[in-house]
Amino acid sequence: MPFTDEKIQQVWEKGKVVSSNNPNVWRKDANDAWIYRESHGNRKSMYGWEVDHIDPGGGDELSNLRPLQWKNNVVKQEGRLKPAVTSKGTENIELD
Protein backbone atom coordinates (compact mmCIF):
# COMPACT_ATOMS: atom_id res chain seq x y z
CA MET A 1 0.00 0.00 0.00
CA PRO A 2 1.44 3.40 -0.94
CA PHE A 3 2.26 5.92 1.75
CA THR A 4 0.29 9.14 2.12
CA ASP A 5 1.95 12.48 1.37
CA GLU A 6 1.78 13.21 5.09
CA LYS A 7 3.61 9.98 6.00
CA ILE A 8 6.25 10.61 3.31
CA GLN A 9 6.84 14.07 4.78
CA GLN A 10 7.14 12.63 8.28
CA VAL A 11 9.71 10.10 7.03
CA TRP A 12 11.59 12.89 5.19
CA GLU A 13 11.84 14.81 8.46
CA LYS A 14 13.71 11.85 9.99
CA GLY A 15 16.60 12.39 7.53
CA LYS A 16 19.81 13.98 8.80
CA VAL A 17 19.82 17.77 8.63
CA VAL A 18 23.04 19.35 7.38
CA SER A 19 23.25 22.89 8.72
CA SER A 20 24.60 24.46 5.53
CA ASN A 21 21.62 23.18 3.47
CA ASN A 22 17.91 23.90 3.43
CA PRO A 23 16.37 20.95 5.34
CA ASN A 24 13.17 21.29 3.32
CA VAL A 25 15.16 20.43 0.17
CA TRP A 26 18.27 18.41 1.15
CA ARG A 27 18.98 15.85 3.85
CA LYS A 28 21.17 12.78 4.29
CA ASP A 29 20.18 9.18 4.81
CA ALA A 30 21.57 6.66 7.31
CA ASN A 31 24.59 6.03 5.02
CA ASP A 32 25.30 9.78 4.68
CA ALA A 33 24.06 9.81 1.07
CA TRP A 34 22.39 13.04 -0.04
CA ILE A 35 18.67 12.85 -0.71
CA TYR A 36 16.58 15.49 -2.46
CA ARG A 37 13.01 15.99 -1.21
CA GLU A 38 11.42 16.27 -4.64
CA SER A 39 13.15 13.06 -5.80
CA HIS A 40 11.10 10.74 -3.61
CA GLY A 41 10.59 7.53 -5.60
CA ASN A 42 12.84 8.65 -8.47
CA ARG A 43 15.27 5.86 -9.31
CA LYS A 44 16.69 7.88 -12.20
CA SER A 45 18.18 10.41 -9.79
CA MET A 46 21.34 9.87 -7.75
CA TYR A 47 19.52 11.86 -5.05
CA GLY A 48 16.31 9.84 -5.25
CA TRP A 49 15.08 8.22 -2.07
CA GLU A 50 12.51 5.78 -0.79
CA VAL A 51 10.75 5.02 2.46
CA ASP A 52 12.67 2.17 4.07
CA HIS A 53 11.43 -0.24 6.71
CA ILE A 54 14.17 -0.47 9.36
CA ASP A 55 12.81 -3.88 10.38
CA PRO A 56 11.25 -5.46 7.27
CA GLY A 57 8.62 -7.23 9.36
CA GLY A 58 8.05 -4.34 11.74
CA GLY A 59 5.09 -2.68 10.05
CA ASP A 60 4.43 0.83 8.77
CA GLU A 61 4.65 2.73 12.06
CA LEU A 62 6.73 5.90 11.75
CA SER A 63 9.23 4.54 14.30
CA ASN A 64 10.05 1.74 11.82
CA LEU A 65 10.49 4.01 8.79
CA ARG A 66 13.35 6.14 7.52
CA PRO A 67 14.37 7.87 4.30
CA LEU A 68 17.01 5.97 2.36
CA GLN A 69 18.74 6.78 -0.93
CA TRP A 70 17.18 4.35 -3.40
CA LYS A 71 20.33 2.35 -4.21
CA ASN A 72 21.02 1.95 -0.50
CA ASN A 73 17.47 0.62 -0.12
CA VAL A 74 17.92 -1.86 -2.99
CA VAL A 75 21.09 -3.44 -1.54
CA LYS A 76 19.85 -3.58 2.05
CA GLN A 77 19.90 -7.19 3.22
CA GLU A 78 17.77 -8.73 5.97
CA GLY A 79 17.25 -5.41 7.69
CA ARG A 80 20.95 -4.54 7.73
CA LEU A 81 22.35 -1.53 5.89
CA LYS A 82 24.94 -2.22 3.25
CA PRO A 83 25.97 1.12 1.80
CA ALA A 84 26.00 1.39 -1.98
CA VAL A 85 26.02 5.19 -2.01
CA THR A 86 27.47 7.75 0.39
CA SER A 87 28.54 11.35 0.01
CA LYS A 88 31.81 13.12 -0.56
CA GLY A 89 31.32 16.82 -0.01
CA THR A 90 28.22 17.90 -1.88
CA GLU A 91 28.12 14.89 -4.23
CA ASN A 92 26.94 11.31 -3.87
CA ILE A 93 29.44 8.62 -4.78
CA GLU A 94 28.86 4.94 -5.44
CA LEU A 95 30.84 2.43 -3.42
CA ASP A 96 32.25 -0.78 -4.86
pTM above 0.75, yes or no: yes
User: Would you place residue 1 in the very low, low, confident or very high pLDDT band (cuts 50, 70, 90)?
Assistant: low
Q: Is residue 77 within 8 Å of residue 39, measured between CB atoms?
A: no
| Alpha-carbon distances of 15 from 1, 25, 49, 96, rounded to whole Å | 22, 11, 11, 24
What is the model's pLDDT at position 2? Answer: 87
User: Would you place residue 88 in the very low, low, confident or very high pLDDT band (cuts 50, 70, 90)?
Assistant: very high
Q: What is the mean pLDDT of residues 56-81?
A: 92
- Give dist(CA 21, CA 1) in Å, integer: 32
Across the chain, mean pLDDT equals 95
Strands of 1-96, DSSP E: 26-28, 34-36, 49-53, 65-69, 85-88, 91-94
- Give dist(CA 64, CA 86) in Å, integer: 22
pLDDT at 10 over 70: yes
What is the model's pLDDT at position 48? Answer: 98
